[in-house]
Structure 1
Amino acid sequence: MGHGMGMPVAKPMDFRGSLRRLLGMLRPERALLVVAVVLTAGTVTLSVLGPKVLGTATDVVFGGVIGRRLPADVTQAQAVEGLRRDGEVELADMLAAMDHVTPGQGVDTGALRGVLLTVLALYAGAWVLGWVQGLLTTHVVQRAVFRMREEVEAKLSRLPLRHVDRQPRGELLSRVTNDIDNIAQTLQQTLSQLIQAVLMVVGVLGMMLWISPVLALVAVLTVPLAGVVTAVIAKRAQPQFVAQWASTGRLNSHVEEMYSGHALVKVFGRQQDASRTFHAENEALYEASFRANAISGIIHPAMMFIGNLGYVVIAVVGGLRVAAGAISLGDVQAFIQYSRQFTQPLTQVASMMNLLQSGVASAERVFELLDAPEQSPEPIDAPRPDPVRGRVELEHVSFRYDADKPLIEDLSLSVEPGRTVAIVGPTGAGKTTLVNLLMRFYDVDSGRILLDGVDTATMDRETLRRSLGMVLQDTWLFGGTIADNIAYGRPGATREEVLDAARVTHVDRFVRTLPDGYDTVVDEEAGNVSAGEKQLLTIARAFIADPAILVLDEATSSVDTRTEVLVQHAMAALRQGRTSFVIAHRLSTIRDADLILVMERGSIVEQGTHDALVAAGGAYARLYASQFAAAAAPVD
Structure 2
Amino acid sequence: MTKTLKRVFSYARPYLIYFVLTVIFAAAGVILSLAVPVFIGEAVDCCVNKNVDFENLKKILLRLGIIVIASGIFQWTMSLCTNKLAFLTVRDLRADAFAKLERVPLKYIDSHTKGELSSRVINDIEIISDGLLQGFTQFFSGMMTIIGTLAFMLSINVRIAVVVVVLTPLSFIAASKITKASHDSYVQQSKLRGDMVGFAEEMAGNQKIVKAFVYDKRAEEKFIEINNEYGKIGAKATFFSSMTNPTTRFVNGLIYAAVGLLGALSVTGVSSFIGSMSVGKLSSFLSYANQYTKPFNEISGVFAELQNAVASAQRVFDLLDEEEVSDDSDMEKLENCNGTLSFENISFSYTPERELIKNFSLDVESGKKIAIVGPTGCGKSTIINLLLRFYDIDSGKIIVSDKDTKTVTRDSLRSSFGMVLQETWIFTGTVAENIAYGLPDASREDIISAAKAVHAHGFIKRLPNGYDTVISDTSGLSQGQKQLLCIARIMLTNPPMLILDE
Tell me whether 1:52 sits opposite 2:2 in the alignment: no
State how far apart, in whole Å, the 1-side matches of 2:404 and 2:140 are: 56
Q: Determine what percentage of the aligned residue pairs are the same residue.
A: 37
**Is contact 1:379–1:459 with CA below 8 Å preserved after alignment?**
no
* 2:414 counterpart residue number: 465
- Aligned-pair distance for 1:305? 0.7
What TM-score, normalized to structure 1? 0.75
State how far apart, in whole Å, the 1-side matches of 2:30 and 2:458 are: 72
Alignment length (residue pairs): 497
- Aligned-pair distance for 1:402? 0.4
1:300 aligned to 245, 253, 263, which one? 245
* 1:9 counterpart residue number: none
* 1:276 counterpart residue number: 221
Tell me whether 1:238 sits opposite 2:186 in the alignment: no
State how far apart, in whole Å, the 1-side matches of 2:338 and 2:405 are: 14
Q: What secondary structure is seen at the aligned counterpart in 2 of 1:221?
A: helix
* 1:551 counterpart residue number: 499
State how far apart, in whole Å, the 1-side matches of 2:121 and 2:335 are: 39
- Aligned-pair distance for 1:281? 1.7
Q: Which structure 2 residue ranges, 5 or more long, are not aligned?
A: 270-274
State how far apart, in whole Å, the 2-side matches of 1:240 and 1:414 are: 56
Encode CA deviations 1:521-540: one digit per residue, 9 max, x unaligned: 322234x2221221111111
**Is contact 2:245–2:300 with CA below 8 Å preserved after alignment?**
yes
- Aligned-pair distance for 1:188? 5.2
Tell me whether 1:247 sits opposite 2:192 in the alignment: yes
**Is contact 1:468–1:547 with CA below 8 Å preserved after alignment?**
yes
Going from structure 1 to structure 2, the CA distance change for 1:378 and 1:210 (only over 3 Å counts) comes to: farther
What TM-score, normalized to structure 2? 0.95
Tell me whether 1:291 sits opposite 2:216 in the alignment: no
Structural mapping, 1:132-151, within 5 Å = 132-151=77-96
Encode CA deviations 1:342-385: one digit per residue, 9 max, x unaligned: 111111111233322222221111111111221112332x2023
* 1:208 counterpart residue number: 153
- Aligned-pair distance for 1:408? 2.3
* 1:512 counterpart residue number: 461
Tell me which amino acid in the other structure corresponds to 2:366. P
- Aligned-pair distance for 1:265? 1.5
State how far apart, in whole Å, the 2-side matches of 1:487 and 1:551 are: 18
Q: What secondary structure is seen at the aligned counterpart in 2 of 1:378?
A: coil
* 1:523 counterpart residue number: 472
Going from structure 1 to structure 2, the CA distance change for 1:385 and 1:267 (only over 3 Å counts) comes to: closer
* 1:160 counterpart residue number: 105
Q: What secondary structure is seen at the aligned counterpart in 2 of 1:167?
A: coil
* 1:456 counterpart residue number: 405
Q: What secondary structure is seen at the aligned counterpart in 2 of 1:506?
A: coil
- Larger Rg over CA atoms: 1
Tell me which amino acid in the other structure corresponds to 2:277. I
Encode CA deviations 1:425-464: one digit per residue, 9 max, x unaligned: 2222222111111111111223332332333223222222
Hey, which of these two has a bigger chunk of helix by percent?
2
Q: What secondary structure is seen at the aligned counterpart in 2 of 1:421?
A: coil
State how far apart, in whole Å, the 2-side matches of 1:205 and 1:176 are: 43
**Is contact 1:251–1:282 with CA below 8 Å preserved after alignment?**
yes
Q: Which moved more, 1:33-42 or 1:341-350?
A: 33-42
**Is contact 1:477–1:534 with CA below 8 Å preserved after alignment?**
yes
Q: What secondary structure is seen at the aligned counterpart in 1 of 2:438?
A: coil
* 1:487 counterpart residue number: 436
State how far apart, in whole Å, the 2-side matches of 1:185 and 1:224 are: 27
State how far apart, in whole Å, the 1-side matches of 2:92 and 2:464 are: 43
State how far apart, in whole Å, the 2-side matches of 1:152 and 1:45 are: 40
Tell me which amino acid in the other structure corresponds to 1:514. L
**Is contact 2:454–2:488 with CA below 8 Å preserved after alignment?**
yes
* 1:41 counterpart residue number: 27
Q: Which moved more, 1:532-541 or 1:514-523?
A: 514-523
Q: Which structure 1 residue ranges, 5 or more long, are not aligned?
A: 1-14, 66-105, 555-636
State how far apart, in whole Å, the 2-side matches of 1:24 and 1:332 are: 45
State how far apart, in whole Å, the 1-side matches of 2:102 and 2:367 are: 31
State how far apart, in whole Å, the 2-side matches of 1:223 and 1:364 are: 32
Structural mapping, 1:292-331, within 5 Å = 292-324=237-269, 326-331=276-281
* 1:17 counterpart residue number: 3
Structural mapping, 1:156-235, within 5 Å = 156-187=101-132, 189-235=134-180
* 1:28 counterpart residue number: 14
- Aligned-pair distance for 1:159? 1.2
State how far apart, in whole Å, the 1-side matches of 2:17 and 2:328 are: 35
Structural mapping, 1:391-470, within 5 Å = 391-470=340-419
- Aligned-pair distance for 1:473? 1.3
